[in-house]
């Protein structure tokens, strides 16, 4: 199955699941376990993939402090606003409450009564940073522990490389091992993505068989909430930056039309990168700023996935009748950011990283294949958002470099940074 056919296969699987559920009724319930198996495998593979992605990024990324400051500032602002929009939409409109029939488990008990919220004392949070062993961190998919371990190992290796404590061959071996680990787990995740249509068919069939067609009613709210959030990120956040950079909106959209359209078709911001760089060149953005914002910064410009994750986590909780307090939502912010590092190039990246976050918050995973049946629409909108994030980041960096007397574009004066 090719990546480009995944959306149509998911749609066919959704229809087949509805048909099987209507025809066979509650007797098809055991078939739904296949979907849970696929989700469990995704969860097992996602943690190590995240570890090797961060490690490889640490070993390969080499930028000056001023450039890093430009990149981190703009991407942090965009990420914070994306998370705020995602959480705001779910808290305000509560789209998960429209998805009926999921608040009770197979035993008839309310899911909310069996949910164990994560503890939020400062002591328990600090203790959670240190797993009992490396294997425990990987087995339990402790995102924070894996990220800290990858950063520490990457920083130590980089220090040895820069101080010539490692020979050129040893340094190359370290990079190759990190890349091998990343690509191995990425390939495994891609295989799981190929099984996604079967998982969707199984879970949809079981849901319709047990709960009837009413169980499908809330999917429109899921799509509407996600699309609205991504639209706000593009139409308010990015266009505000473009206006600040004094680029006419018509000029920007003329250049951005091709990469934005291509990302909708390919569902990949990385595959769109050549067109993104071409569009930035048409906008007279310096090659240095374009490389920094769209190439080096690609692991940070995942606003589409961040916004979707924040919205989707609350959607799942609401569908199960679970209320997430401010402390839990604050942890969601941190987990979303960690889970997206290095994962943007994987098809259905939001689906993969969402499984990690739900596990950390102790939320049920049964809804994931159900949501995936229509999520291919949002996946393409997320990719387009990430591409526009790459372009916006590059444009802002270019203007800041110009103002600082760097090598940015010389076309017109650069205004002062906006107040934050």
Instruction: Give DSSP secondary structure letters for 355-367.
Output: HHHHHHTT---TH
360: Cα separation from own chain's centroid: 15
Count of CB atoms situated within 10 Å of the CB of 97: 14
Q: What is the per-residue pLDDT for 420? A: 33
What is Dmax (Cα atoms) for the chain? Answer: 70
Least Cα distance to 145 among 126, 127, 130, 125 occurs for 130
**Which pTM does this prediction carry?**
0.73
Report the C-alpha gap between 376 and 382 in whole angstroms. Answer: 10
b/e per residue 160-197 (b: at least 16 CB within 10 A): ebeeeebeeeebeebbeebbebbeebbebbeebbebbb
| pLDDT number for residue 257 | 92
Q: Residue 110: left if φ>0, alpha if ψ -120 to 50, beta else—which one?
A: beta
Report the topology of domain 3-403: 1.10.3860
Structure tokens at 169: 């061959």
pLDDT at 208: 78
Q: Tell me if 46 sits within 8 A of 198, measured CB to CB.
A: no
> With contact defined as beta carbons under 8 Å apart, do 286 and 322 qualify?
no
Show me where the domains of the chain are located.
3-403
Q: What are phi and psi of 33, to 5 degrees?
A: -65, -25
Q: Show the 3-state SS of 106-146.
A: CCCCEHHHHCCCCCCCHHHHHHHCCCCCHHHHHHCCCHHHH
Q: Closest Cα to residue 207, out of 104, 318, 111?
A: 104
d(CA 305, CA 348) in angstroms, rounded, equals 10
CA angle in degrees (0–180, nearest 5) for 375-112-27 = 65
Place of tokens 């919220």: 117
- Contact predicate 270/345, CB 8 Å: yes
- Under-70 pLDDT residues of the chain: 1-7, 39, 43, 61-64, 104-109, 113, 118-144, 210-211, 214-215, 265-267, 270-271, 298-299, 341-350, 405-420
d(CA 55, CA 69): 20
Crossing angle of helices 219-232 and 65-93, rounded to 10° = 140
Residue 6 has a pLDDT of: 61
For 398, what's the count of Cα atoms within 13 Å in the CB-facing half-sphere?
Answer: 30
Q: Is 289 exposed, middle or buried (0-12, 13-18, 19+ CB in 10 A)?
A: buried
Q: Which letter does DSSP use for residue 344 in this model?
A: T
Let me know: does 275 contact 258? Beta carbons within 8 Å: yes
Rounded distance, CA 216 to CA 99, Å?
A: 7
């Amino acid at each position: 199955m090719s990546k480009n056919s995944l959306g149509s296969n998911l749609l066919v699987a959704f229809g087949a699941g509805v048909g099987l559920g209507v025809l066979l009724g509650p007797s098809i319930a055991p078939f739904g376990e296949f979907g849970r198996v696929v989700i469990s495998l995704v969860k097992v593979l996602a943690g190590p993939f995240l570890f090797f992605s961060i490690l490889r990024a640490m070993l390969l990324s080499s930028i000056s402090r001023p450039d890093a400051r430009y990149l981190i500032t703009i991407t942090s602002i965009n990420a914070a606003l994306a998370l705020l929009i995602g959480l705001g939409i779910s808290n305000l409109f509560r789209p998960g409450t429209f998805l009926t029939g999921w608040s009770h488990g197979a035993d008839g008990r309310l899911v909310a009564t069996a949910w164990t919220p994560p503890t939020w004392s400062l002591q328990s949070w600090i203790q959670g940073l240190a797993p009992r062993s490396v294997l425990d961190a990987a087995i339990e998919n402790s995102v924070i522990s894996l990220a800290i371990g990858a950063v520490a190992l990457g920083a130590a290796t980089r220090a040895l490389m820069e101080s010539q404590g490692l020979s050129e061959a040893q340094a190359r071996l370290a990079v190759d091992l990190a890349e091998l680990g990343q690509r191995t787990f990425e390939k495994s995740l891609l295989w799981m993505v190929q099984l996604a249509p079967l998982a969707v068919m199984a879970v949809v069939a079981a849901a319709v068989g047990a709960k009837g067609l009413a169980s499908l009613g809330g999917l429109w709210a899921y799509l509407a909430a996600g699309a609205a959030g991504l639209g706000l990120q593009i139409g308010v956040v990015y266009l505000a930056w473009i206006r600040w950079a004094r680029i006419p909106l018509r000029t920007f959209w003329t250049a951005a039309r091709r990469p934005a359209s291509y990302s909708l078709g390919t569902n990949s911001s990385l595959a769109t990168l050549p067109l993104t760089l071409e569009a930035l060149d048409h906008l007279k953005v310096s090659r240095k700023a374009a490389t920094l914002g769209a190439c080096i910064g690609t692991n940070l410009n995942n606003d589409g996935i961040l916004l979707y994750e924040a919205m989707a986590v609350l959607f799942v909780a609401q569908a199960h009748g679970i209320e997430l307090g401010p402390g839990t939502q604050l942890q969601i912010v941190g987990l979303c950011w960690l889970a997206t590092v290095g994962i943007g190039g994987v098809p259905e990246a939001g689906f993969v990283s969402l499984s990690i976050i739900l596990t950390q918050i102790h939320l049920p995973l049964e809804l994931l294949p159900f949501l995936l049946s229509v999520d291919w629409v949002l996946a393409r909108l997320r990719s387009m958002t990430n591409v526009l994030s790459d372009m916006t980041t590059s444009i802002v960096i270019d203007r800041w470099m110009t103002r600082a007397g760097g090598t940015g574009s010389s076309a017109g004066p650069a205004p002062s940074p906006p107040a934050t």
